[in-house]
Chain A
Amino acid sequence: QKEVEQNSGPLSVPEGAIASLNCTYSDRGSQSFFWYRQYSGKSPELIMFIYSNGDKEDGRFTAQLNKASQYVSLLIRDSQPSDSATYLCAVKRAGGSYIPTFGRGTSLIVHP
Chain B
Amino acid sequence: DAGVIQSPRHEVTEMGQEVTLRCKPISGHNSLFWYRQTMMRGLELLIYFNNNVPIDDSGMPEDRFSAKMPNASFSTLKIQPSEPRDSAVYFCASSLHGNTEAFFGQGTRLTVV
List the interface of chain A (C-beta within 8 A of B): 32, 34, 42-46, 49, 88, 97-105
Contact = CB atoms under 8 A, between A and B. Distances in A.
Interface string B89-102: 00100010111111
B106 to A, nearest CB: 5
B75 interface: no
Contacts of B50: 97
Interface in B72-90: none
A74 to B, nearest CB: 16
Given A97-B55, A99-B45, A99-B48, 18 more contacts: A42-B106, A43-B91, A43-B104, A43-B105, A44-B91, A46-B101, A46-B102, A46-B103, A49-B100, A88-B42, A97-B97, A98-B99, A99-B33, A100-B33, A100-B45, A101-B45, A102-B43, A104-B41
Q: Taking each of B95, B99, B101, which has the highest tally of chain A beta carbons within 10 Å of its own beta carbon?
A: B101
Instruction: Determine the main DSSP class of B at the interface with A.
Output: strand
Interface residues of B, number: 25
B25 interface: no
A105 B91 CA distance: 16
Contact of B43 (A34, A46, A88, A97): A88
B101 A49 contact: yes
Contacts of A32: 100
A78 to B, nearest CB: 25
Contact of A98 (B44, B91, B95, B104): B95
